Structure 1
C-alpha cells in the first residue's frame, strides 16, 4: 500500500487552490477599481445599443466580463466531451482554445474600432522603430502588451508546434502586422505603427513564458496518446 501518494498530492492541490483564490481576489479588486466606468456603460449594453456600449472601451470590457461565465461553460462542455479520449489533457486543451478566443477578440475589437475621422482622413503609417514608443505612455504600452497576450499564453498549451518563445514571438508579430495592415487599408483614423507590432509581439512572448510549465510539448503529446497493444508473434 502506497502511503506517500496522498501527502505528496496535497501540497500541489493546496497550491492550486491558493493560486485560484489569489486570482479571484485580484479580479475582484480590479473590478472594484473600475466599477464606476463599467456601470456607466451598463444601461446601454443591457439595452443592446451600439453607441455608448460596443463602440467604447468601457462597454467592450463590460461585455467581456459578462461573457466570462459563458466561456467557462464552453470550457466545461468541451472538456466533458473530450475526457473519454483525451484523458488529463482534456481540460488543458479546452481551456486553451476558449482562452485564446475570449482573451483576444475584445482587444482586436478595440484595435479595430474606428476613430472620429475614419474614412475621411488619409491613412497614416509609421515605419521608424521606437519613434512612437515614447508617445504611447504607460497605458498605451500596457494595452499593446495585452493585445495578443492571451494568444501567447494559451497557444503553446494547445499546439505543440508553438511550444517555443521565438515561434510565439513570430506568431504575435504576424497577427499584429495583419491588424496594422487592416487599419491602414480600412482607413480607421489610426496610425499603423511598427512599434505596435513590436510591443504586441513582446506581449505574446512574455505571456508564453508565463505559461511555460503547461506547454503541450511533442514529448508530452506522445505520452498522452493511448498505447496500442502489440500483437503476439505467431509460432
Structure 2
C-alpha cells in the first residue's frame, strides 16, 4: 500500500492546524471587526485590515464551492486535471485579491499627503519588523503558488519572480499616483517578488509543465 495518501493527509492536517493556530492568535482583532461585518456595514468592515482578514477567512468555503462547478464542467469536457486547474484559478484570485485590497487601502491622509517614494534597496526593511516583512512576503504568495500549476508558460521560478515584481510595481505605482498616504518602496517590490518565488518553489511538484495537457 502506497504511503502517498497518508503523506497528503498528514500535510493537510498540518496545514489545518497551522491555519487554526493563526486564527486563534489573531482572534481578538478579528472579533473586533465581526460586529460591523455581520451587520453588513461594509464601509466599517472592508475599510479595516481586521475586517478584510475576517471576511477572507469566512469566505474560504465559498471559494471552494466556486471551484466545484468549474471542475465539474472541465471533467464533463474531458479535461485532465480538472480539479487541479480549477482550484489553481480560484486560489490565485482568492489568495491575492484580499492582500492587494489591503495594500491599496488608503491611509488617514489619503488625497492630501503627496505620494512618497523610497527607492534605496534594503533601507525600509529595518523599520518593517517581522510582521511587515511577513505580510509583504504573502501579498503575491498565492499567485506564485498557483500560477505555475495552472499555466505551463509560468512554470519557472525566474518567471514567477518577474511576475511578482511586475504586479508589485503596479501596486506601488498605484499607491503613489492615487496618493493613498502610503510609501511606495522598492523593498516592498523585492519582498513581494521573493514571496511569490518562494511559494512557487513550494508548489513545484504540481507544476503544469506538459503543454499537451
* TM-score clears 0.5: yes
Of 154, 158, 173, the residue aligned with 1:166 is: 158
Tell me which residue corresponds to 1:136.
128
Q: Which residue among 33, 36, 44 is the counterpart of 1:44?
A: 36
Number of corresponding residues: 213
Partners of 1:185 and 1:29 lie apart in 2 by 38
CA distance in 2, matches of 1:92, 1:101: 14
- Is the partner of 1:60 in helix, strand or coil? helix
Find the aligned partners of 1:36 and 1:44 in 2 and give their Cα distance: 15
Report the Cα offset of residue 167 of structure 1. Answer: 0.2
TM-aligned CA deviation for residue 117 of structure 1: 0.5
Gaps of 5+ in 2: none
After TM superposition, the score normalised by the length of structure 1 is 0.87
Q: Which runs of 4+ in 1 moved over 4 A?
A: none
Provide the secondary structure at the position in 1 that maps to 2:120.
coil
Paired position in structure 1 for 2:204: 212
What does residue range 25-104 of structure 1 map to in structure 2 within 5 Å? 25-104=17-96
Instruction: Show the 5 A alignment for 1:190-209.
Output: 190-209=182-201
Name the TM-score, length of structure 2 as normaliser. Answer: 0.96
Say whether residues 1:150 and 2:142 are aligned partners: yes
2:77 partner SS: helix
One of 7, 25, 43 as aligned partner of 1:15: 7
RMSD value, Cα: 1.2
Which of these residues, 156, 162, 174, is aligned with residue 182 of structure 1? 174
Cα distance between partner residues in 1 of 2:129 and 2:99: 18
CA distance in 1, matches of 2:207, 2:130: 30
- Supply the distance in 1 between the matched residues of 2:115 and 2:21 (Cα, whole angstroms): 39
Give 1:206 shift.
0.4
Using the alignment, how far apart are the partners of 2:17 and 2:188 within structure 1? 31
In 2: Cα distance, 1:113 partner to 1:40 partner: 19
Q: CA deviation at 1:86?
A: 4.4
| Partner Cα distance (2:78, 2:89) in 1 | 14
Structure 2: how far apart are the matches of 1:86 and 1:123? 51
Higher mean displacement: 86-95 or 196-205: 86-95
- In structure 2, relative to structure 1, the CA distance for the partners of 1:171 and 1:192 (3 Å cut) is same
Higher-Rg structure is 1
Residues 212, 117 of structure 1: alpha-carbon distance in 2 compared, 3 angstrom cutoff: same
Deviation at 1:88, TM superposition (A): 4.2
For 2:118, the equivalent position in structure 1 comes to 126
CA distance in 2, matches of 1:65, 1:151: 18
